[in-house]
Amino acid sequence: MNKEAIDLLIQKSPRLRRSRATLEAMQPGAYCVHRAWGLGQIKDYDERANRLIIDFQEGRTGHPMDPVFCVDKLEILEDGNILVRAQNEPEVVAEMVKSRPTDLIAEVLERAETKTATALEIETILSRLMGPAKFKKWWTQTKKALIKDPRIAVPTKKTEPFILRDEPVRAEEEVLDEFFETKAPKKKILLASKLIDLSVKHEDINEELPSILKELANSLAETKQLNPGERLHGIWVRNDLARFIHSDVETLEPTSTSIIADSNDLSGLSQQVPASHYSRYLDLIERTVPDQWERVTFDLLKNSSGKLTAECINFLITHDKEKSISATFDRWLVEQNLKAPVLTWILKNRSSRKYSKMLEGLMTPRILGAIFFAIDYEALQNASTRRIPLADLVSDDQNLIPDLLTDASYETAHDLAQTLMLNQGFEDLSKKSLLARFIRLYPNIQAIVGGELSKSERSEVEELVVSAESFENRKKEYEELVQVKIPQNKEDIAEARSHGDLRENAEYKMARQEQDILLSHKNEFEVTINKARISDFSDASVEMVSIGSVVELERISTNERVTYSILGAWDGDPDKNILSYQTPLAKALLSKGKGEQIAVEIDGHEETYIVRDIKRWIDLQ
């Protein structure tokens, strides 16, 4: 745009006076960015139409735009902008993207106002530079490299900006400054651990270690912001630092043994300790309670998960406790106390050279029952749609079911297959796949999954016609079962288990039997609710008997007349002469017309009826 055109625009709209510099920058060849259309280049200015002609990268070539509109909608880019350089110096920018990513970010920040930019602002530029798909992985790797770049201050919070420093600061100096500046004890512990590692290569950090030790020790002694596990981690970092600079660890308070001694829940404490320190935690327990360490370790193992499970087992093995592990696993199996994380570890390691001998006695059909129980239990506790790792492992392990059922009787396999069918922890496709593995070993199991039903029988059970009222009542019954009865049964099992020896515990056995019944009912509810099709019975006919018909019958033996309403599967009410369409009498009547006869067995003898009249139930309401 020339000076005259700009003067004319400002004369027409005086508010544009403050945007004169932007209008002057709208020259042919200048690059710009539109929020929706991305990068573009001004090609010309049409004075007659008062329109800028812009080519955008998204296929909008020769696009006319009002300069007044562009003042607020377009960002005119300077020549040094990285997006402009990518057009004018593509090879240089491509080399930066590939080999000098931190230099590219430094250039972006150099061009930003106050030399700062939020992560979102940088990501917007990178998305336009590289494309939405490519930049994400590049940016993730580059952020890690920026931490070590002395020119750039990397934010600790997402809401804070990246800053291009006036004077470069070395990464180790930044960590040191941050350690002394922060008041958060948890952060101070992590920074102290990092400084120990940095001191090996940086002599100036090494000189600060006594001051770091004093600062960390004071923080641990005074703070009330740490839970016991975090405090224990801090003590370990403090002790490592003291030993590194040859300071007397024994004079430092609090001690790691005091944390163990003061804890009433070592299993809960283990969940607060960083996973990288599990081995150290177990060593500490052995030193603190030398007469009880084995029992404590098994208690930790029983309720463990993830890396702690493996650490506990390996710790016991280093103390020659393989026989104790086998015996304990076998006892937990009998008591149904083998939990999902331990079962997961067993399955993953059952064929390993190191553990197979120790685990071989467990590889029986009984453990498959324990696996199904653990998966079903976790599904009942899991209100979200989160996947169950043990269920995924069982589904993915093609050899597991054949391995465990090699010597199983048909009755045992049949019972396990039924347990699987009722299990809530598997998706339908996974359940079918697992059942197929049972059937390959025991073909007769096909019968319990409906394989022997005829086509018409399978069609019959695929759908249930129900009324809206009965459907809502069935849902309420299901919700009471899931939200009240099953949770109460879980508490009953826990209470009964606390009474001692499960082999002589009648309350426990009764609670477990009730659990099996409740879970069976839960499965039945879900199957039938999923099959239900709600109907208002408006499609009933007056020509022949159908669902939604009111039928007048005459009993031939007595000439007595009786009227029945044939409604949905869950609507039966004998006191009101309402029949479910699934009852024998209703089944016999369906598709019959006026004047036709039916024969039905009632109380041991056969009765014959004639259909005298057919009406629609919906018309009588």
Q: What are 101-115's pLDDT values in tens digits? A: 999 999 999 988 889
Domains of the chain: 3-76 (2.30.30), 82-169 (no CATH), 464-534 (1.10.287.180), 549-620 (3.10.50.30)
- The long-range contacts involving 161-167, CB below 8 angstroms and separated by at least 24 positions, are 161/116, 161/117, 161/118, 162/105, 162/109, 162/116, 162/117, 162/118, 162/119, 162/122, 163/109, 163/115, 163/116, 164/106, 164/109, 164/110, 164/112, 164/115, 164/116
Name the pLDDT band for 453 (thresholds 50, 70, 90): very low
Altogether, the residues listed in the chain come to a count of: 621
Please report which residue ranges of 152-306 form alpha helices under DSSP H. Answer: 171-181, 185-199, 203-222, 228-244, 256-262, 266-270, 278-288, 293-302
Q: Per-residue pLDDT averaged across 370-398, rounded?
A: 84
Q: Give residue 198's pLDDT.
A: 79
Q: Give residue 480's pLDDT.
A: 87
CB atoms within 10 A of CB 398: 10
* Tokens, residue 548: 């939604």
Q: What distance in Å separates the CA atoms of residue 309 and residue 307, rounded to the nearest whole number?
A: 5
Q: Per-residue pLDDT averaged across 149-159, rounded?
A: 83
Q: Give residue 604's pLDDT.
A: 65
Q: Is 115 exposed, middle or buried (0-12, 13-18, 19+ CB in 10 A)?
A: middle
Q: What distance in Å separates the CA atoms of residue 605 and residue 176, rounded to the nearest whole number?
A: 96
Name the pLDDT band for 452 (thresholds 50, 70, 90): very low
| pLDDT tens digits along 220-279 | 988 889 999 999 999 999 999 999 888 888 889 999 999 999 999 999 999 999 999 999
CB 83 within 8 Å of CB 28:
no
User: Can you state the percent helix, strand and coil of the chain, rounding each to 5?
Assistant: 60, 10, 30
Bridge partner residues of 352 (DSSP): none
Kind of pairing between the strands at 560-567 and 578-580: parallel
Among the ranges 161-170, 428-437, 513-522, 552-561, which has the highest mean pLDDT value?
552-561
Name the pLDDT band for 499 (thresholds 50, 70, 90): low
pLDDT(207) > 80: yes
Query: What is the maximum span of the chain, computed from C-alpha positions, in angstroms?
Result: 112
Whose CA is closest to 244, among 284, 210, 281?
210
pLDDT(178) > 70: yes
| pLDDT tens digits along 465-482 | 889 899 888 888 888 888
Q: What distance in Å separates the CA atoms of residue 16 and residue 72, rounded to the nearest whole number?
A: 11
Q: Per-residue pLDDT averaged across 8-29, rounded?
A: 89
Whose CA is closest to 21, among 10, 37, 35, 36?
10
Q: Give residue 415's pLDDT.
A: 87
Q: pTM to 2 decimals?
A: 0.52
pLDDT(319) > 60: yes
Q: Give residue 379's pLDDT.
A: 84
Q: Give residue 233's pLDDT.
A: 94
| Bond into 254 cis (ω within 30) | yes
Q: Per-residue pLDDT averaged across 367-372, rounded?
A: 92
Name the pLDDT band for 457 (thresholds 50, 70, 90): very low
* Tokens, residue 486: 């099953």
pLDDT(458) > 70: no
Q: Give residue 288's pLDDT.
A: 93
Q: What distance in Å separates the CA atoms of residue 50 and residue 47, rounded to the nearest whole number?
A: 5
Higher pLDDT, 166 or 438: 438
Q: Per-residue pLDDT averaged across 167-174, rounded?
A: 70
What is the share, in percent, of the chain residues with pLDDT greater than 90? 39
pLDDT(540) > 90: no
Name the pLDDT band for 315 (thresholds 50, 70, 90): very high
Q: What distance in Å separates the CA atoms of residue 8 and residue 579, rounded to the nearest whole number?
A: 87
pLDDT(552) > 70: yes
Element (DSSP H or E) covering residue 598 = strand 597-602
| pLDDT tens digits along 76-134 | 999 889 999 999 999 999 999 999 999 999 999 998 888 999 999 999 899 889 988 78
32 Cα distance to chain centroid = 42
pLDDT(506) > 80: no
Q: What distance in Å separates the CA atoms of residue 409 and residue 594, rounded to the nearest whole number?
A: 55
Q: Which amino acid is at 487?
A: P
pLDDT(314) > 90: yes
* Tokens, residue 497: 């288990």
**Half-sphere exposure at residue 197, Cβ-oriented, CA atoms within 13 angstroms:** 6
Q: Per-residue pLDDT averaged across 433-451, rounded?
A: 76
The order of strands in the sheet holding 51-56 is 63-65, 51-56, 38-46, 31-34, 74-76
Q: Give residue 455's pLDDT.
A: 42
Q: How far apart are the first and last CA of the chain?
A: 79
Q: Give residue 307's pLDDT.
A: 93
Name the pLDDT band for 57 (thresholds 50, 70, 90): confident
Bridge partner residues of 32 (DSSP): 40, 76
Q: Give residue 12's pLDDT.
A: 85
Name the pLDDT band for 447 (thresholds 50, 70, 90): low
Name the pLDDT band for 454 (thresholds 50, 70, 90): very low
Q: Give residue 281's pLDDT.
A: 95
Burial of 315-333, coded b for 16+ CB within 10 Å and e otherwise, reads: bbeeeebeeebbebbeebb
Name the pLDDT band for 460 (thresholds 50, 70, 90): very low
CA distances to 328, 365, 388, 493 from 349, rounded to whole Å, are 17, 17, 19, 30
* Tokens, residue 201: 């290569």
Question: What sign does the dihedral 89-92-97-100 (CA atoms) show?
Answer: negative
Q: Per-residue pLDDT averaged across 585-606, rounded?
A: 83
Q: What is the DSSP string of 129-164?
A: HH-HHHHHHHHHHHHHHHTT-TTEEPPSSTTSPEEE
Residues 6 or more apart whose CB falls under 8 angstroms from that of 417 comprise 435, 438, 442, 445, 448, 449
| pLDDT tens digits along 292-305 | 999 999 999 998 98
Q: Is 575 exposed, middle or buried (0-12, 13-18, 19+ CB in 10 A)?
A: exposed
Q: Give residue 482's pLDDT.
A: 84
Name the pLDDT band for 436 (thresholds 50, 70, 90): confident
Q: Give residue 228's pLDDT.
A: 93
